[in-house]
Amino acid sequence: MLKCISRLLSEWRVGDVRDIHADMMRYTRETICSVLFGGEFTPNNVEIGNAVSVVFGDLRAEILYPPIWRRLPLARSIRWNRAVKRLNRSIRETVRARRDSGEPGIDLLGSLLRARDSDGHSMSDEQLHDEIMTFFLAGHETAALSLTWAAYLLATHPETQEQAAKEISVVTEGGEIRAEHYPQLRFVTAVAKEALRLYPPVWSLGRKTTKHGSLGSLPVSKGTDLWLCLHRLHRDPRWYPEPERFSPQRWLGNQLQRRFTYAPFGIGPRVCIGQHFAMAETVLGLASMLRQFRFLLVSSAPAEVNAWISLRPKERIELRVEQV
């Protein structure tokens, strides 16, 4: 994570106006590629990374529209289909090369190759492919959106941005960010949690009822599909005083959190398996950026959300990066 954000920040210059979502998509894409396939980017890894950007970078029509869309001779569908083929080919070649080498590796792909079920069977190539695709889907844009909204909120609240930067300076003693600093960055973590409360990347959550019941006076039969709007749940004044206000301080102290009122990573037995990974990626990414730069708004117009599969900004969020 720290190597990936460092590579990105080495290209930033004081006074630059950055499309922060595009930058954060690059950071999280490179991070997930590094974790899956190792820290050094071979040509095949770069091909995977570029294909991931196309396949998962704007995943809307591909899920929401009928499958016939993919067969239409449109520029977007042609580009997407080519990227899918390129990504599938790259994954197959990488898995085959690892199997042939006899060295699984110390990355996530290596862990998947070494995994065995209760009968001692390993994963098939198809299973490995599907697991890798799931990590790309779940670990790319959602984390990038967490960082995008957090950076935007800090730009709109300069006093909070300075408080976070001060904590970073104290924790690191003015030096480089290291992985072991993560649990000490309590205020930066609170900033990340508050950004997730106001702008949960996965803004709605589907569940199927397992028995008959009711919601208030409304009877609900077993097998009913329910959709929970986490965006509204997180802004319910019953659980959050001044719910529209950005206040990381609400996550500090010892106040009890009522169950089922905060679920940016889902809740229950199907809670996101990567939630701790995503939090570390967000906090270490924010800390690395704030150690070197400050975010300033370019436009005074409030950012609006575009609620599709994920909670994206409706327009580009451009932030100017200034010197500390």
Q: Give the DSSP letter string of 100-149.
A: HHT---SSHHHHHHH---TTSPPPPHHHHHHHHHHHHHHHSHHHHHHHHH
The string of pLDDT tens digits covering residues 62-111 is 555 556 666 778 777 788 888 888 888 888 888 998 999 888 888 999 99
**Cα 172 to chain centroid, rounded:** 25
- φ, ψ at 140 (rounded to 5°): -105, -75
Mean pLDDT taken over the chain = 90
pTM of the model: 0.90
We find that the CATH architecture of domain 2-9+20-323 is Orthogonal Bundle (1.10)
Pairing label, strands 204-208, 225-229? antiparallel
Structural contact between residues 316 and 306, judged by C-beta atoms closer than 8 angstroms: no
The domains of the chain are located at 2-9+20-323
Residue 38's alpha-carbon distances to 35, 92, 105, 258, 311, in angstroms, are: 6, 16, 8, 40, 30
140 pLDDT band (50/70/90 cuts)? confident
